[in-house]
Structure 1
Amino acid sequence: MTRPRIVIVGAGFAGYRAARTLARLTRFRATVTLLNPTDYFLYLPLLPQVSAGILEPRRVTVSLPGTLRRVRLVLGEADRVDLDGRTVHYTDPEGGRGTLAYDRLVLAVGSVNKLLPIPGVAEHAHGYRGLPEALYLRDHVTRQVELAAAEDDPVTRAARCTFVVVGAGYTGTEVAAHMQRLTDDLVHRHPLRAGMRPRWMLLDVAPRVLPELDERLSRTADRVLRERGVDVRTGTSVKEATHDGVLLTDGESVASRTLVWCVGVRPDPLVEATGQPLRRGRLIVDPYLQVPGRPEVFACGDAAAVPDLDHPGRSTPMTAQHAWRQGAVAGRNVAASLGLAPAPRPYHHRDLGFVVDLGGAQAAANPLGLPLAGPLAGAVTRGYHLAAMPGNRARVTADWLLDAVLPRQGVQLGLVRSWSVPLDTASPELARTAGGPPGRPDT
């Protein structure tokens, strides 16, 4: 008999966990295929440490072929899903076209940057959703400090030393916290004139930082950032962006060469292209993660509006914690639908708390609802990440130990240029077809 074909689209938190669960449950009784643009799973929560020079880039990447031994990896970007024909059409990294047929489909395509209709943002801001953006930000910030150190014009020097982060959620807060420490370290090697120091601004329209998390975590993060000199502006955002700076919604004009866009995410456009019912851009699924009317299709992670059984009428938030656990449930339920596992079970989430790494020994955490701050929270945060990572634990630990005793290497690698990391990550064709910079300066 022909083995059933299971196709998983996306190897983020949800897709990777679904693939690992299915590999364990099916044990060669089904063909499990994973379609993903890269050959690694990216552990997103540690990206700010890559930008800050604490971790080497490969530490936050986990090899898909190396850790998913019974899963077939296909490198490619999904272009279209034909639900009636039960096929997924994709483009490989070299522009070739391919098709995958399935008996069961798991959509775990994740999310892309949330774009707002603000003049100049798409042209002059950079997002923070992947390894290229993290590497680019590190090079760019290092370059600005080095150029400012040799700059005679005080206005240009101040602009190069002003860094604006929009979005004080989980990602934006950690980026501002870690990068502020990096620039302080850099200026010790490139002293700025007249006692100047880098200026970091963290903006958000919400009334507090980390608005989606516990208020105690928010207060801790706000205090740590302000004590370090970060200019935290709540109730404020960007009205317009140019190459020379940003205009804020309160009317202030800020000269800057750096705009980091961390305002949030939206589901990958492939979800909308399926033509199935959506809720706030996410594919509607039942508690078993199945698409209504399409019992062969499952969805999880940021792409799916999964019912929150503890709060009827709501969907689970778009967080890595939910995606990771939904991936396991999706994998189990797919196997159960094929008779390869016990009865399916609904997704029910128990909140274990959140951790926010603020750089150095500082963090904010509430494991099991217990609020922590300072070095203890820092230890809990790093312990949580080590436990959550599906690989590279020894290498990550080694980098942390080296960072504690050795100075960071503040150099530009020049591997990622500005034009290769456009803010609109919803347009993979741009990255595939771009043959060079479209005339935009990289400074």
Structure 2
Amino acid sequence: MSRPRIVIVGAGFAGYQTARTLCRLSKGAADVVLINPHDYFLYVPLLPEVATGILEPRRISVSIPGTLPDVRLILGEADSVDLTRRSVGLVDPEGHRREISYDRLVLAAGSVNKLLPIPGVTEHAHGFRGMPEALYLRDHMTRQIEMAGAADDPEERAARSTFVVVGAGYTGTEVAAHGKLFTDELARTQPTLRDREPPRWKLLDIAPRVLPGLPEHMAETAERVLTRRGVEVSMGVSVEEATKEGVRLTDGRFVPTHSLIWCVGVRPDPLVGDIGLETAKGRLCVDAYLSVPGHPEVFACGDAAAVPDLNNPGEITPMTAQHAWRQGRTVAHNIAASYGRGERRRYRHRDLGFVVDLGGFQAAANPLQVPLSGPVAKAVTRGYHLAAMPGNRVRTGADWLLDAALSRQAVQMGLVRSDAVPLENNAPELPVRLSG
């Protein structure tokens, strides 16, 4: 008999962990196929450190062929699922269409930037979900500070030295914290900026505090560090309109800037809504075993799935890397159980705590509910990331050591153009193809 084919859509935290666990459980008895636009797993929590020159891009880009040698990788963007024919349609990197059949399907397509109907945002803001966006932001910050240093007009100089981050969750808080340190260092290399006010960073959110949903002590630590560093934290405020000259805030103020960084949140990949199955908040409905009702051969996990939170009846699990990682492991065990190997498991998450890197020697953490801040929290945070990464640990640690000892190499590489990373992009992990 031929081996059963298990197709996994997406190689984020959920999809990568599903593939890795399945290979261990099947021991070659299954054909594990992974569909992904690129050949690496992106360790997203360290993306702010790539954008600010601490880590090189390949450090957080873990090779799929190198770490999952028994998985068949198909490069492409999945855009359709035929539940009747049990097949997935995709477009490969060269624009060719193909289909692949499955016996079991795992939908772990992840998420894309969350959009809001605010005039000008899609034209003038950039998100922060994938490697192209991080590389673009790194060049953009460097370019703006260098152009500010060359500007004769004080108003232009101030606008180019102003950066506005919308969204004070994990991503926005870390981007603002790391970005302020990075641009301050860049400004010190410009003779005309050294004796002037340092670059201005604003962090906005309609929430009442930074890091909403996390323990209050972590929010207090983050806001204290940001404020001392010079970041202007404005809660209960957002963007009303974005223009080429700047942004108008909901409190009536106008902030001249060329840098609007959109970290408002995420929404499930559009593929989920196109399948025709029941969704909740845009996420595919599944049972406690992560199986799609009425389709026992289809599973979903991570940001694409509305997974029941057994610890909070009536709720669904948040869209976080911790949940996605553990859900991927649960899906793999339940697929193995569907072939008679082991017993099915319900997904129940045990909270081990949170970590937020605030740049420099600062962080906030609560491992096992123990509140930590400062250098101790920083050590815990980096230790957690090294333990969680499925590869490149030594190289990542080496980059951290070099960053502590040497100044950063701040140059523009020009690898990603602004129009290659639009905010309205269904595949933020890939730059948009440009014509001409």
1:52 corresponding residue in structure 2: 52
2:334 corresponding residue in structure 1: 333
RMSD: 1.2
Q: Distance in 2 between matches of 1:224 and 1:204?
A: 17
Amino acid at match of 2:90: Y
Cα deviation per residue 1:246-301 (whole Å; 9 max; x = unaligned)?
A: 00000000000000000000000100011111110000100100000000000000
Query: What's the offset of the Cα at 1:427?
Result: 6.3
Q: Distance in 1 between matches of 2:191 and 2:301?
A: 49
Q: Distance in 2 between matches of 1:265 and 1:83?
A: 26
Runs of 4+ in 1 over 3 A off after TM superposition: 191-194, 427-433
Cα deviation per residue 1:127-169 (whole Å; 9 max; x = unaligned)?
A: 0000110010010000000000010000000000000000000
1:268 corresponding residue in structure 2: 269
2:103 corresponding residue in structure 1: 103
1:246 corresponding residue in structure 2: 247
Amino acid at match of 1:77: E
Paired positions, count: 435
Q: Distance in 2 between matches of 1:433 and 1:254?
A: 32
1:142 corresponding residue in structure 2: 142
CA distance 1:432–1:248, shift in 2 (3 Å)? closer
1:105-120 pair list within 5 angstroms: 105-120=105-120
CA distance 1:125–1:218, shift in 2 (3 Å)? same
Cα deviation per residue 1:366-423 (whole Å; 9 max; x = unaligned)?
A: 0010110000000000000000000000000000000011111111111111010011
Q: Distance in 2 between matches of 1:109 and 1:77?
A: 10
Q: Distance in 2 between matches of 1:292 and 1:21?
A: 23
Amino acid at match of 1:284: C
2:320 corresponding residue in structure 1: 319
2:351 corresponding residue in structure 1: 351
Secondary structure at 2:234's aligned position in 1? strand
Gaps of 5+ in 2: none
1:258 corresponding residue in structure 2: 259
2:227 corresponding residue in structure 1: 226
1:441 corresponding residue in structure 2: none
2:127 corresponding residue in structure 1: 127
CA distance 1:220–1:117, shift in 2 (3 Å)? same
Query: What's the offset of the Cα at 1:44?
Result: 0.1
Query: What's the offset of the Cα at 1:191?
Result: 3.5
Q: Distance in 1 between matches of 2:123 and 2:431?
A: 15
* 8 Å Cα contact 1:27-1:70 kept in structure 2: no
Gaps of 5+ in 1: 437-443
Cα deviation per residue 1:40-86 (whole Å; 9 max; x = unaligned)?
A: 00000000000110000000000000111111000000010011110
* 8 Å Cα contact 2:421-2:432 kept in structure 1: no
Amino acid at match of 2:344: P
Q: TM-score, normalised by structure 2?
A: 0.98
Q: Distance in 2 between matches of 1:430 and 1:324?
A: 22
1:27-426 pair list within 5 angstroms: 27-193=27-193, 195-339=196-340, 341-426=341-426
Q: Distance in 2 between matches of 1:291 and 1:77?
A: 22
2:26 corresponding residue in structure 1: 26
Secondary structure at 2:126's aligned position in 1? coil
CA distance 1:188–1:432, shift in 2 (3 Å)? closer
Q: Distance in 2 between matches of 1:149 and 1:4?
A: 61
Amino acid at match of 1:245: G
Q: Distance in 2 between matches of 1:9 and 1:188?
A: 45
Cα deviation per residue 1:160-203 (whole Å; 9 max; x = unaligned)?
A: 00000000000000000001000111111114456221000000
Q: Distance in 2 between matches of 1:427 and 1:402?
A: 33
Q: Distance in 2 between matches of 1:241 and 1:228?
A: 26
Amino acid at match of 2:250: T
Q: Distance in 2 between matches of 1:336 and 1:359?
A: 44
Cα deviation per residue 1:318-365 (whole Å; 9 max; x = unaligned)?
A: 0000000000000111111122x2011100100001000000110000
CA distance 1:123–1:401, shift in 2 (3 Å)? same
Query: What's the offset of the Cα at 1:434?
Result: 2.8
Query: What's the offset of the Cα at 1:429?
Result: 13
* 8 Å Cα contact 2:272-2:282 kept in structure 1: yes
State, as a whole percentage, how many aligned pairs show the same letter: 68
Amino acid at match of 1:209: V
Amino acid at match of 2:36: N
Cα deviation per residue 1:415-442 (whole Å; 9 max; x = unaligned)?
A: 1110100111226899555315xxxxxx
CA distance 1:429–1:167, shift in 2 (3 Å)? closer
Q: Distance in 2 between matches of 1:245 and 1:383?
A: 39
Query: What's the offset of the Cα at 1:243?
Result: 1.1
CA distance 1:185–1:432, shift in 2 (3 Å)? closer
Amino acid at match of 2:99: T
Amino acid at match of 1:145: I
Q: Distance in 2 between matches of 1:195 and 1:288?
A: 58
Secondary structure at 2:409's aligned position in 1? coil
CA distance 1:432–1:264, shift in 2 (3 Å)? closer
Q: Distance in 2 between matches of 1:63 and 1:315?
A: 31
Q: Distance in 2 between matches of 1:28 and 1:390?
A: 21
Q: TM-score, normalised by structure 1?
A: 0.97
* 8 Å Cα contact 1:139-1:414 kept in structure 2: yes
Q: Distance in 2 between matches of 1:173 and 1:432?
A: 27
Secondary structure at 1:195's aligned position in 2? coil
* 8 Å Cα contact 1:95-1:432 kept in structure 2: no
Q: Distance in 1 between matches of 2:321 and 2:40?
A: 16
Secondary structure at 1:325's aligned position in 2? helix
